[in-house]
Amino acid sequence: MSGTRTLVHLLSVAMLLLWGGVLLYFYISGRLVNYLPPDGIFRPMVLISGIGLAVLGLFNLLTMGAEDPGCEGHDHGHDDHDHDHKDCDHDHGHEHKHEHGAACDHDHVHHEGCGHDHSHDEPKDCGHDHAKKAGGCGHDHGHTHDHAHAHSHEGHAHGILDESSWPGRIAVLLILAAPLSWAALSSPDRYSPNAIVNKGLYDPNYTDTSRAEQFSLQNKPKTVAKVVDTPPAVSASLPPANVTTTPPPGVNAASAAMADGAKKVNEKDLPKPAQASKSYGSFSLEDLKAQVPQSKDGNFILEVPELYYTGGDVEVQRVLTGQLVETVAQILPEKVNNADGHRLRIFRMLVQCCAADARPYSVPVDFGKKAPEFKDMTWVKVTGKMNYKKEGDQTVPIIEATKVEETTAPENAMIY
């Protein structure tokens, strides 16, 4: 193996170990919880692939001296190959003097001035040494040929690192190593207010039904199980959501099952999703108490996404209006309907698959007087009375604050 080949091989191994190392570090240090959701296979995949990259790197490091079998026992036949130099229509008259040793180390004797960058498509171990000799060609090409010398072993993978010249190799190594290392060293593991605004902090759509299944308060199917003899699996997977195709949230399994046929006909006639809140079936204070934990003062402890989704359901609003609720969230200034400066906005980030798709779910907090000053992004515990106001074309859930105090961040900053 020639010096260049060895170096490229070692650098390749180093890149694998770097990528594997970053994956493993984030998994082991626990910082990964800020990037990927706990459910599904996302987090285990990071561990597995971190180990996989490390093993792949070490395997290639330890077998570096091994012969690539494709190299053994046959003639390389360099002479048969036409150096198809597209850029200059003349014969270069190369004198390839191949001295194939046992380990396929050949010496290519090139004439100076040709400036070829021969990327031989051969297994690494067959490292060629291109020795250049002055004189002979007598013309200056002034360009580098970046052609692959196709050898008779088909399919030997040669990556960019093998095929490039040194400036190219350095660029590849930088692209592979720099952004990842930089991100690993300086990622704050959380977003700045700027990103949160860009991700839609001030554009809430309270009638959204995308993850209503998870967060909307509704007449839960537990009372339903005894009414119908539908298998539990069916009622569990019953969709509360997508307005355009499926029954709305809160329709319990019984009515959905009974009306299934009729609904299908009606759904397609539904107009485009209206912005106004709708009724999704009956909801009572008992339902609320049964589902939502209460603090020792009797406040209903709700997450911001749960409050957010109440903006779409008139039945829940009827029950929740005037109730004391309590929630922990981050705080930012309010920019919507806040001419008098009485409001702040609290939000939680909701992640679907990875932190890049995190979206803020937010509700305004009204103080009834000049809102107190909080540092952006402060974690606060807000206690207040729920109210609903028609603002613009939607019904906005508003917490009329009775108490707002700074608190520590919850274990999971993002909700999954």
Looking only at residues 210 through 229 of this chain, which bind another protein when binding is defined by CB under 8 A?
210-211, 213
Per-residue DSSP letter, 199? T
User: What is residue 68's three-state secondary structure?
Assistant: coil
Beta bridge partners of 383: 326, 403
- Residue nearer to another protein on the CB measure, 23 or 399: 23
Question: Which residue in 12, 216, 218, 362 binds another protein (CB under 8 A)?
Answer: 12
CB of 364 to another protein, least distance (A): 17
Question: Which residue in 5, 21, 24, 32 binds another protein (CB under 8 A)?
Answer: 32
Please tell me the distance from the alpha carbon of residue 309 to that of residue 291, in angstroms, as a whole number: 15
The reply on whether position 2 binds another protein by CB under 8 A is: no
Beta carbons of 163 and 141 less than 8 angstroms apart: no
The reply on whether position 70 binds another protein by CB under 8 A is: yes
Residues 352-371 that bind another protein (CB under 8 A): 352-357
The CA distances from residue 136 to 2, 76, 98, 107, 121, in Å, are 25, 25, 18, 18, 26
The reply on whether position 183 binds another protein by CB under 8 A is: yes
User: What is residue 162's three-state secondary structure?
Assistant: helix
Q: Which residue bears the tokens 């360009």?
A: 143
CB of 155 to another protein, least distance (A): 5
The set of residues, in sequence order, having a beta carbon less than 8 Å from that of 238 and lying 6+ positions away, is 221, 247, 251, 253, 256
Per-residue DSSP letter, 235? H
Please report, as a single letter, which amino acid is at residue 127.
G
Per-residue DSSP letter, 404? E
Please tell me the distance from the alpha carbon of residue 347 to that of residue 379, in angstroms, as a whole number: 10
Please tell me the distance from the alpha carbon of residue 142 to that of residue 115, in angstroms, as a whole number: 7
Please tell me the distance from the alpha carbon of residue 56 to that of residue 268, in angstroms, as a whole number: 53
CB of 198 to another protein, least distance (A): 5
Please tell me the distance from the alpha carbon of residue 79 to that of residue 152, in angstroms, as a whole number: 12
The reply on whether position 176 binds another protein by CB under 8 A is: yes
CB of 39 to another protein, least distance (A): 12
Question: Which residue in 154, 286, 297, 373 binds another protein (CB under 8 A)?
Answer: 154
* Binding segment toward another protein, per CB under 8 A, in 72-80, 303-311, 380-388, 397-405: 72-80
CB of 154 to another protein, least distance (A): 4
Kindly write out the interface string for residues 368-387 of this chain, putting x where it contacts another protein by CB under 8 A and - elsewhere: ---------x----------
- Please work out the total of residues on this chain that contact another protein, with binding judged by CB under 8 A: 109
Residues 107-146 that bind another protein (CB under 8 A): 119, 121, 123-124
Kindly write out the interface string for residues 281-310 of this chain, putting x where it contacts another protein by CB under 8 A and - elsewhere: ------------------------------
The reply on whether position 410 binds another protein by CB under 8 A is: no
Question: Which residue in 159, 232, 341, 372 binds another protein (CB under 8 A)?
Answer: 159
Question: Which residue in 160, 258, 285, 290 binds another protein (CB under 8 A)?
Answer: 160
- Residue nearer to another protein on the CB measure, 16 or 324: 16
Please tell me the distance from the alpha carbon of residue 287 to that of residue 316, in angstroms, as a whole number: 10
Please tell me the distance from the alpha carbon of residue 76 to that of residue 13, in angstroms, as a whole number: 27
